[in-house]
């Protein structure tokens, strides 16, 4: 995978709000499942802005660390 960003994330369909995003409006991280390049992640306040694309293994390790509370600060 050479591209680490998608300039206009709104061109993709199927975004979902992260289960770890707060209920406050405007403070959500959205992810896109089943993208061939990895796991795109965007800020819901900027749906027409860019998305960062993470390798699947790196994203999985990050989410496990968040769930386990072992993510270093």
Domain count, the chain: 1
Residue 48 lies in a domain: yes
Residue 25 predicted with pLDDT over 80: no
Residue 73 lies in a domain: no
Range of the domain at 39: 5-68
pLDDT-derived band at 22 (thresholds 50, 70, 90) equals low
Q: Which residues are registered as beta bridge partners of 53?
A: 40
Residue 20 lies in a domain: yes
Torsions phi, psi for 61 (to 5 deg):
-65, -40
Read off the pLDDT of each residue in 43-49 and give the average, rounded to a whole number: 90
DSSP H or E stretch at residue 64: helix 56-68
Q: Which tokens hold the place of 7?
A: 């300039």
Q: CB-hemisphere CA count at 13 Å for 23?
A: 0
Residue 20 predicted with pLDDT over 70: no
Residue 29 lies in a domain: yes
Residue 21 lies in a domain: yes
Give pLDDT, residue 61: 94
- pTM for the full model? 0.81
The candidate with the shortest Cα–Cα distance to 40, out of 4, 2, 1, is 4
Read off the pLDDT of each residue in 4-13 and give the average, rounded to a whole number: 93
């Amino acid at each position: 995978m050479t591209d680490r960003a998608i300039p206009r994330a709104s061109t993709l369909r199927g975004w979902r709000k992260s289960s770890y995003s707060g209920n406050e409006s405007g403070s959500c991280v959205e992810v896109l499942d089943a993208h061939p390049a990895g796991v795109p992640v965007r800020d819901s306040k900027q749906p027409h802005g860019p998305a960062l694309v993470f390798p699947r293994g790196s994203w999985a390790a990050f989410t496990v660390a968040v769930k386990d509370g072992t993510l270093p600060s």
